[in-house]
Structure 1
C-alpha cells in the first residue's frame, strides 16, 4: 500500500544522523533535511558525547516532530546509528553523516522508487562536493562530481562496498534483523549493507541528491593498510560466498593489501 506522505502520525522516511562534536556541519546536515520538499520526513539525531555546541545546533535546527538524543561517553557511530534505527518511526529509514547534506528534492524524488519496491533496499546516486579548509565550496573543474551507481553489479558488494551509507533506503520492517557492529574499526557500514543483502533484494534508483562534502587532501579513512585488511578478512569470514569468482576477487584484493591467503578461506 502506498505511504500517505501527508500523515503526521507516520512519516514516510526517517533520516538518522549520528554526530560527534561537529556542530556547524551538523546544522548544515539538519537544515538540508528540514528544507526537503517532501513533508512526511522525520530526523533522528544521535549525538556521541554531545557538546553544548551540538545541543545548541540541534535545538536551533530541529522541529517538534524530530528527535535529538545525546549520550555520555565515546561509543562511536555504530551504536549511534543502531539507537537511531530503534527510535525511527518512518516507513523507510536512511542515514546521513553529520558532515554531508541532501539536495532539497532528494527525498521527494526517491519516494516513488521506494513505493514501487516496498520490500527492497533501494540505493541512489550521489555527488562529491569539494570544499576548502574553511568549509566554503571549492571552485573550478572537479569541484562537483556526480557518481552514478547504475552499472554497479550488486553481487560485487560481497567483495568491496561501493554504496555510501547515505545513499541507502531500507524498509523499517528490517530494522530488528540488522545492526551496525561497534567492534569493527572501520567498514561497519559495509558489514551492515551485507546484512541487508542477505535479507532483501537491492534496487538502484536513478536519483541523485546526497552530497558528500570533501576537503581537498582530506580522507575519512586514516587506517593503515594492515588495519583495513584485518577488517576486510573479518567481514569476508562472517559473510561467506560459494561463488568461486567472488572468492578469487576477494583473494586478489587481499593480496593487493599485502597478504597472501587462499581463496577457500575467504
Structure 2
C-alpha cells in the first residue's frame, strides 16, 4: 500500500440533514484508529451541511455536491470512484460508529480471511425534533449465528456493518434506478465473488426516528410495497441463486406475497 493511501475510505452520502451529518462525522473523528479518509457526497446543496463539512473534515477528506437525481445510490457510486483506501466502508449521514469500531475492524482484517466482513449492529431510536436528538431506546442485533447463504434470499446486514476490500468491488456499483433494496442488490453482486465473513465486537449504530417518520429516508411513495416486490424480483433475475434450495426459498418468499412464479425464474 502506498504511503499516502489510507487504509479505509469511509463513504458518506448526505441529503439536507446537517445535524445528522455532524453526528456521523463526529463519530469518525472520535475513532481510536485514524488511518482513513472520509468522502462526503451531497445530492442537494445546503449551507449548513457545507458548514459542517468545512468544520469537521480534515485535509485528507473530501466533500462535494454531485449533479443529477437525488438518492444515496448515485452518491455512493460517486464516492466509490474517488476512494483511495485499501478497504471501503459506507456510513450514511444518519448513522454512526462507536469509538472502537474501526480499530476492531482493522484487527479483524489483519487476522486474515474473507475480502468482505460484517459485524453486529445496535439500533437506537430517537426523536429528531428534540434538542440533541435524545435516544429513546437501544436494541442490539446479533448476526453471528446467521447463515450468510440467506443473503441470496433477502438481506439482514445493514450497509454500514459491512467492509469490503476495494479490489473486490471492481466493476460493482449501486443501481440508482431501483426504488428500494439497492444496498442488498449491491451485496448480492458481491456475494457472486465472495461471501461475507462475520467478526464480533464492532461498534455499528443505526439511528432511527420512528416518532417523526417524515425525517427518515426510504419513505418516499416510490418505495411502496408493490415496487419493493418488483425490486426483489429484479434482483433475483439479475443474480440467480446458486443452489436449488435457495431458488425454492426465493420462490416461497414471493409466493407468500401473492406472486407465483416458476422455479426457473430464481
* Residue 122 (structure 1) aligned to one of 114, 117, 123: 117
CA contact (8 A) 1:86 1:175 kept: no
For 2:69 and 2:21, locate their aligned partners in 1 and report how far apart those are by CA, in whole Å.
18
Question: What's 2:265 paired with?
Answer: 265
CA contact (8 A) 1:225 1:257 kept: no
Unaligned stretches of 5+ residues in structure 1: none
Helix, strand or coil: the match of 2:200? strand
Q: How does 1:14-25 map to 2 (within 5 A)?
A: 14-25=9-20
- The alpha carbon displacement at 1:119 in A equals 5.2
Question: What's 1:160 paired with?
Answer: 154
For 1:171 and 1:57, locate their aligned partners in 2 and report how far apart those are by CA, in whole Å.
29
Question: What's 1:253 paired with?
Answer: 253
CA contact (8 A) 2:100 2:202 kept: no
For 2:168 and 2:202, locate their aligned partners in 1 and report how far apart those are by CA, in whole Å.
24
More deviation, 91-100/53-62: 53-62
CA contact (8 A) 1:50 1:72 kept: no
Helix, strand or coil: the match of 1:212? strand
Q: How does 1:1-266 map to 2 (within 5 A)?
A: 9-117=4-112, 120-134=115-129, 136-139=133-136, 143-217=137-211, 218=213, 220-222=217-219, 223-266=223-266
Distance 1:173 1:119, change over 3 A: farther
- The alpha carbon displacement at 1:257 in A equals 2.0
Distance 1:118 1:248, change over 3 A: closer
- The alpha carbon displacement at 1:220 in A equals 4.8
TM-score, length basis structure 2: 0.91
- The alpha carbon displacement at 1:244 in A equals 1.8
Helix, strand or coil: the match of 1:207? coil
CA contact (8 A) 1:22 1:54 kept: yes
- The number of equivalent residue pairs is 258
Helix, strand or coil: the match of 1:39? coil
Unaligned stretches of 5+ residues in structure 2: none
- The alpha carbon displacement at 1:221 in A equals 4.0
For 1:175 and 1:187, locate their aligned partners in 2 and report how far apart those are by CA, in whole Å.
18
CA contact (8 A) 1:85 1:175 kept: no
For 1:45 and 1:138, locate their aligned partners in 2 and report how far apart those are by CA, in whole Å.
25
- The alpha carbon displacement at 1:213 in A equals 0.6
For 2:128 and 2:79, locate their aligned partners in 1 and report how far apart those are by CA, in whole Å.
30
